Amino acid sequence: MQVDRVIPSGYCKGVINAINLARKARQQHPDSKIYIMGMLVHNHYVVEAFAQLGIITLYDPHRSKIQLLDGIDEGVVIFTAHGIDPKISQYALNKGLTVIDATCSDVTKNALLCRQYLDKGYDILYIGKANHPESEAVLALSERIHLISSLPDIDKLPLSGRPILVTNQTTMSLLDTAQLIEAIRERFPGCEVVEEICPATRKRQQAILDLEGYDTLIVVGDPRSNNTAQLASIARGRIEHIYKVEKAADLLDCDLSASHKVAVTAGASTPSYLTDQVINYLRTGDPDYLRIDISKVIQLQEV
Ligand code: SF4
């Protein structure tokens, strides 16, 4: 069986920056409590690795970020690469917490675009995923930003008569976003479109679209990671067998008996170490690669 790594895949610059900021925070505040608001990246092994450094992830889908902050009286709080509602970071500052903002520059650029168009009087149609931290942060900017997650959302939109900007979450699928933009253009022919899929997401998806001759794709990543899910979704109908795994041990549940040429990719939030384990196990069958050393999960390597 031939096994090839898809290039590029894995950690992007925004994730590397966020992990570096969190590690630096531990060095600079050795005696402080340090919290991350939400998952620094959508990968629970990364969460575990930070827990080993005494950095606690605040995550509870049943409580708001303000409620989570209410449980903290002192220390450092890190906001993730996905961006944060400015009202929430101000709330943390007002509580006397030290705030570290790891928002990715591509996410900041998109938020700035939205603010500029809101100031110009536009309504914004934002193509994104419901309840994702990046879309939540953008939607918090104004009630004039409307989330579009699927085609039916377009028909439900109220017609305000204001000019319309169409933009999107940075980690969306190239193909799904293009389809939604086309449908929005049909309903609102005069709309302006600024497509904002970030370069890292675009390159990782394009690398999948460019694959030729592979019968199997293995996508390594956490089930909660949007960019990982998009890599699998973009391959559907192009590659016969697609498996999503979190770690090498999950390969034991995959039937690879009909696989001859295997490509391995990983979302921008997937530790390179876990992808290496998957590739090495596929190539050698050595059970050592099924074991995970959590301390290696936040070693950094951009591919
Ligand atoms: S996926 Fe793109 S927007 Fe998100 S952190 Fe990485 S580079 Fe930034």
User: In the block, which residue shows the tokens 């990719």?
Assistant: 265
User: In the block, which residue shows the tokens 């997650």?
Assistant: 149
**For residues 30 and 160, what is the distance between their CA atoms, to the nearest angstrom?**
52
Verify whether ligand 1 is closer than 6 Å to residue 128 (CB atom): no
Ligand 1 atom at minimal distance to the Cα of residue 13: 7
**For residues 44 and 287, what is the distance between their CA atoms, to the nearest angstrom?**
22
Q: DSSP state, 95?
A: T
Residue 273 φ/ψ region, left for φ over 0, alpha for ψ in the -120 to 50 degree band, beta for the rest = alpha
All structural domains of the chain, each given as residue ranges with its CATH number in brackets, are: 2-11+200-296 (3.40.1010.20), 13-104 (3.40.50.11270), 106-197 (3.40.1010.20)
Ligand 1 atom at minimal distance to the Cα of residue 105: 8
Ligand 1 atom at minimal distance to the Cα of residue 198: 2
Verify whether ligand 1 is closer than 6 Å to residue 102 (CB atom): no
Verify whether ligand 1 is closer than 6 Å to residue 298 (CB atom): no
Pocket probe for ligand 1: among 201, 225, 226, 300, the residue whose CB has the most ligand atoms within 8 Å is: 201
Question: Dihedral sign, CA of 168, 170, 171, 176?
Answer: positive
pTM comes to 0.90
Verify whether ligand 1 is closer than 6 Å to residue 228 (CB atom): no
- Read off the tokens for 292: 């995970």
Active site residue 134: yes
Task: Determine the distance separating the centroid of ligand 1 and the alpha carbon of 199, expressed in angstroms.
Answer: 8
Verify whether ligand 1 is closer than 6 Å to residue 12 (CB atom): yes
Q: DSSP state, 127?
A: E
Q: What is the pLDDT of residue 303?
A: 47
In DSSP terms, which residues pair with 113 in a beta bridge?
none
Q: What is the pLDDT of residue 266?
A: 96
Q: What is the pLDDT of residue 301?
A: 53
Task: List the chain pLDDT tens, one digit each, 303 residues.
Answer: 999 999 999 999 999 999 999 999 999 999 999 999 999 888 989 999 999 999 999 999 899 999 999 999 999 999 999 999 999 999 999 999 999 999 999 999 999 999 999 999 999 999 999 999 999 999 999 999 999 999 999 999 887 889 999 999 999 999 999 999 999 999 999 999 999 999 999 999 999 999 999 999 999 999 888 888 889 999 999 999 999 999 999 999 999 999 999 999 999 989 999 999 999 999 999 999 999 999 898 876 554
Which residue is closest in CA terms to ligand 1's atom 8?
14
User: What pairing do the DSSP bridges indicate for beta strands 241-245 and 164-168?
Assistant: unpaired
**For residues 203 and 153, what is the distance between their CA atoms, to the nearest angstrom?**
28
Ligand 1 atom at minimal distance to the Cα of residue 12: 6
